[in-house]
Structure 1
Amino acid sequence: MSGETERRLAELGVTLPTPTAPAANYVPVVKSGNQLFVSGQLPMGADGLTCKGKVGADVSIEDAREAAKLCAINILAQAKAALGGDLGKLVRIVKLTGFVNSVPDFGDQPKIINGASDFLVDVLGDRGRHARSAVSAGALPFNAAVEVEAIIEVAG
């Protein structure tokens, strides 16, 4: 399945980046049994944080949705690194938790986190379907608009 996943990423024009190092005292991924717990990923691109500010004031739904997709790309990059480069060991995305840095009366968090969910299903098919929470946050690290973490089932 690694080849299948890599082919699909290539078809979508996505190259997984080299994962970024943690910004504090934590590890980016913990493997426990047959699960990977991927720490919250920010929308970090080649030039750093791509989407800053509050959704509903500074950031549009469309831009935040793209930021959530970038978080999902970074989740896959972290998973690939944790799996020794073999995305074929990824059995399925079990759960995503998405945080949206939004104004108090903003209620469209699911629309934002759909950027991550839709991307993972597009790349992984049924292996990308997952349980999910999409919640508002009063603030996120570095004033990021979005942060997404994941639980992933892996083979042996």
Structure 2
Amino acid sequence: MSVYEKLKALQIELPMAAAPAAAYVMSAQAGKTVFLSGHLAKKDGKVWEGQFGKNISTEEGKLAARGIAIDLLTTLQAACDGDLSRVKRIVKLMSLVNSTGDFTEQHLVTNGASELFNEVFGEQGKHARSAFGVAQLPMGACVEIELIAELV
């Protein structure tokens, strides 16, 4: 099953690609490796604000991370000249989770993105990753995730 068939089976329609919000680009390529800038969680089209351990649950965070993964797929598709079949492998995710000092489930929040990449790309979606708790993110976002992928 192709990546696009898997997306359709998951009832996922990729949104319009986002524009950078500051002085950076959404993706940069070096050889066959593409680096995607961090994407913030969104809810109802706005930045999904919250801090884990204070006013947002781990389960909500998994949904936020899954939503980010969909946005990352849109940016990755743009970096692949519109063709996600050019993705050889998802190499690494880095997840920043807006957390109180005693919240320790950053890895579970990040699973929302990791699980989606595994569903969409199969073996090629399995990746290395880091999940960090941070004191704050831009615009109060609950989660930010960046991605590194290898292209064919």
Q: Compute the displacement of 1:82 (Å).
A: 1.2
Q: Compute the displacement of 1:19 (Å).
A: 1.3
Q: Compute the displacement of 1:46 (Å).
A: 5.8
Counterpart among 8, 32, 35 of residue 34 in structure 1 = 32
Number of residue pairs matched by the alignment: 152
Instruction: Read off the aligned partner of 1:43 and give its amino acid letter.
Output: A
Instruction: Read off the aligned partner of 1:93 and give its amino acid letter.
Output: I
Instruction: Read off the aligned partner of 2:144 and give its amino acid letter.
Output: E
Give yes or no for the alignment of 1:116 onto 2:113. yes
Distance 1:11 1:77 in 2: 17
The verdict on how the C-alpha distance between 1:81 and 1:45 changes in structure 2, with shifts beyond 3 A counting, is farther
Residue 2 of structure 2 aligns to a residue whose secondary structure is helix
Give yes or no for the alignment of 1:15 onto 2:42. no
Match of 1:44 in 2: 42
Question: 5+ residue gaps in structure 1?
Answer: none
Instruction: Read off the aligned partner of 1:34 and give its amino acid letter.
Output: K
The verdict on how the C-alpha distance between 1:58 and 1:45 changes in structure 2, with shifts beyond 3 A counting, is closer
Distance 1:10 1:48 in 2: 25
Give yes or no for the alignment of 1:149 onto 2:109. no
Give the TM-score normalised by the residue count of structure 2: 0.96
Aligned-pair Cα RMSD in Å:
1.1
Match of 2:89 in 1: 92
Instruction: Read off the aligned partner of 1:96 and give its amino acid letter.
Output: L
Q: Compute the displacement of 1:99 (Å).
A: 0.5
Give yes or no for the alignment of 1:64 onto 2:58. no
CA displacement, residues 116-151 of structure 1 (integer Å, 9 cap, x when unaligned)? 000100111001000000000110011110000010
The verdict on how the C-alpha distance between 1:99 and 1:20 changes in structure 2, with shifts beyond 3 A counting, is same
Residue 103 of structure 1 aligns to a residue whose secondary structure is coil
CA displacement, residues 74-130 of structure 1 (integer Å, 9 cap, x when unaligned)? 111101011111001000100000010011111111000000000100111001000
Distance 1:101 1:5 in 2: 31
Residue 21 of structure 1 aligns to a residue whose secondary structure is coil
The verdict on how the C-alpha distance between 1:38 and 1:119 changes in structure 2, with shifts beyond 3 A counting, is same
Residue 92 of structure 1 aligns to a residue whose secondary structure is strand
**Percent identity over the alignment?**
39
